[in-house]
Each structure stands twice: as C-alpha cells, then as structure tokens.
Amino acid sequence: MRFPFARVRERLAARDVLRLRGRFRGRRGLVAFLAVMGPGLIAGIAGNDAGGITTYSVMGATTGLSLLWIFPITIVILAIVQEMAARLGVVTGQGLSDLIRDRFGVRPTAFAMAILLIANVANTVAEFSGAAASLELFGISRYIAVPIVGVAIWALVIKASYRTVERVFLSVIVVFVTYIFSAILADPDWGAVGRALVTPHLDLAPAQLLLVVAVVGTTITPYMQFYLTSAVAEKGIGEDELGLERADAIGGSIWTNVIAIFIVVAAAATIGVASGTITSAADAAKALEPVAGRLAEALFAVGLFGASVLAATIMPLSTAFVICEAFGWESGVDKRFSDARAFFSIYTFVLAAGALIVLLPGLDLLPVIIASQNLQGLLLPVVLIFMVLLVNDARLMGAHRNGRVGNVLAWGAVGLVVVLDVVLLGVVALGFFGIQVG
C-alpha cells in the first residue's frame, strides 16, 4: 500500500503548526536563528559519540596529524547531507522514513528499518559503554552509573516536552568545548596542525585506508539524517525559515568536525608523541594526564560522558521516530504515552537493551562496537540514495528540489561513501578467506 503525498504535516495538528510557526514569525537576524536553531546542531554533534571519539583518538595516537586533511572533506560531505535532510523536513513536514515509504513502498522501508534497529541497539550499547568508562575514571562503578544514566534519559524523554528535551541537548553540546581545552593544554605545534589540514598525505597501507573509512563512517551516519528530518518536522519549522534551518544544519556539520579535529590533535600531541597505543576513548583520557595534566584528563573524560549521554538519547529516539513513521504509528516526544504507545515502547526497548547489555559481566564490547559501525556505514549509501532521489522529486519539493550543482555535490558524496564501503567489504572478504590486512 502506498500513501499519498498530500499527507503533509499529518503528525502535527493545524493549530500546533500555527503555534510553532508563530514563534518565528516577525523575528529577524540572530533572534530568528536562535529560535530555529537546534535540530541541525544536535544531529551533527551526536555523531561525536563514544565510537567516534575512540576512532579520532586512535587516529591521533597512531598517525599523528598526518590525516587531518580528511576533515575539511568530511565537513563538506556532512554539510551536503545534513542540508538535504533539513530541507526535506522543512518542505514536507514529514520524517525521512515516512517519505521513503510514500515514494518507494513499504517492503524496502521495512527492510531498512530492521537493519537500522539492529545497528542502533548495538550503537546504544557503545554509548553506555562510553558513559560508564568516563565515570569509572572518577571512581564510579558502571553498575551504579549505567542504571542512573539510563533512568534519567528515559524520564527526560517520557516526561518532558520536545522544547525541554531540545534545550537539554543543546546545553550538553557545550560540554564538547572541553575537547578544545584538552588540545590546548596538550600544547601541540599549531603550525603543523594548520599545514596538516591543507596538505593531503596518505600512506596506502591497508591499516590507514581502513582508518579513513572508519572516520568517514563514524562522522556521517544514517541515524543522524533520520533524526534531523523528523526533528525539523516535529518542531514545525516553516519554509520561510528554511534558510535559517540550513544554517543550523551546516553549522552542526562544521562544529562536529571541528571537535573531531581537536580530539585528534589532543591525542597526537600526547599519545602519538609518546608512541603509545590506545583501544578506547577512556584510554586517551588517561594518556593525557602525564603530559598535559590532570585537568586535561578530566576535561576529556567529561566530554566523553556528555557525548555518550547525548548519543544514547538520540539513537533510541531516532529509532523510535523512524520505525513509527515507517508504519504510520503516532510519534513525538510531545505526545502522551497513551497516544503513542509504539513510539515510547520502541524508545524504551532500545534504551534498556543498550544499558542492560553493558551490565553483562565478562562481555567483550569491542566486537559489538565494530559491528555497529560497520552496519551504520553499509546502510548509509542506501539512505543517501533515497535522500537524493527525494530531494529531486518535483511533486514533493517543488521549487526547493536540487539544482544541477546540488546534484553534482550530492551524487559525488554518495559515490565517495560507496567507494569507502567497497573498501570495507573488500577487507572483510579478505579476512573471511584468512588474508589479514593492516
């Protein structure tokens, strides 16, 4: 069964749309931007989760500054993708899975939902692992930290309105400034940092190629796009605020990559110089202490905790949004539990599963984290192709569909991600036949 495109903004009552849009009408400049700001920044910064911070830390520790030139590229790719997601949400008033179902049918959407659910549960495990590891640096047991964090996140979403949840998320984003201070305290050679950002250099060793794949995969993930489109629709941002929401989405893309750069710099200036090794972001925080002092270690740990909690909230939330949209169920944090049982049940399941798995004794979390990153990366090209096709649909987007330059950039981004996925699959296939790389 297909659903007509006329079902625009069905998830918001007409009076709610007018109420939400009334907040922005008549505002200009900075005031208007601050009123719209939120979904893009949250979606972008949520990409710097526990897995991302670990990846960036490993990059700095093992390759120093030599791969920093990747981040100007990921800024452009992520900005293109986030802008398309924001534009879809603003113009249609619908979430991405809702649009995919309308345009391409239920079966392909259901298959994508099943993969996304598995990947996001695994990623939620990684986020609770990061939160636990960061608090263990301050002497707090995971068996105390994880239940408290899990219940607090659940209560925030179940009991609060969307505006309250968004304000909490935006306040958590400030925590990421700690990585800037950590890098400064590590006292790197800033001239070398600047040169590394604009001087491409790539060792063709398989280990470095895989690291590049991992960085792109952890920076641009499918759940970010699903969340952003749904959050924009939920917030009720109108077409007259499209330019402001674009700025919000692009700003989030820049901010998340800037933070990633500082994480790499901090690790390179400490662990990389000492030729040390790390296996997690918590190891990176510990490694900062002998060189940059206890304050740098504490700041890095605080940033890891904030990143993990933010992503542990966003992933279950985006999963619930996506699945409910795919099957036409009521969704939204502003809804009552009785009106959106499926939405809150899915959210609770993903959140609880992630927390409980972390508490299992003797569990090796590394395979789970790796599997979640691979699933996210492999799903991304499918999501991007759907998005590009949707933003080119004249019936859906009208004058806001992609232009020629936009399509060149969008399909170029898709092509690059596909190439990286082919590299990843090639390495997995070689490993299956007993051929080790790296």
Other beta carbons within 10 angstroms of residue 182's beta carbon come to 29
So what's the pLDDT on residue 277? 66
Segments making up each domain of the chain, as ranges: 14-432
Spans in the chain with pLDDT lower than 50: 1-27, 30-31
pLDDT in tens, 373-423: 666 777 778 888 888 999 998 888 888 888 888 889 889 888 888 887 787
pLDDT at 10: 43
**Which residues are CB-neighbours of 256 under 8 A, at least 6 positions away?**
44, 45, 47, 48, 78, 219
Scan for tokens 């249609």, then name that residue.
92
d(CA 115, CA 109): 10
pLDDT at 216: 79
Q: Which pLDDT value is given to residue 99?
A: 86
Question: Which of 246, 198, 197 shows the shortest CA–CA distance to 88?
Answer: 246
Terminal CA-CA length for the chain: 48
For 34, half-sphere exposure in the C-beta direction (CA atoms, 13 angstrom radius) is 5
Third-level CATH fold of 14-432? Amino acid/polyamine transporter I (1.20.1740)
pLDDT at 105: 82
Q: Are 420 and 216 in contact (CB under 8 A)?
A: yes
pTM of the model: 0.78
pLDDT at 68: 92
How far from 369 is each of 294, 364, 431, CA to CA, in Å?
28, 10, 18
Residue 314 vs residues 85, 92, 230, 281: alpha-carbon distances, Å: 16, 22, 12, 20
Q: What is the DSSP string of 240-280?
A: GGHHHHHHHHHHHHHHHHHHHHHHHHHHIIIIITTT---SS
CB burial readout 314-353, b (16+ within 10 A) else e:
bbbbbbbbbbbbbeeeebbbbeeeeebeebbebbbebbeb
Cβ atoms < 10 Å from Cβ of 295? 14
What pLDDT sits at residue 23? 47
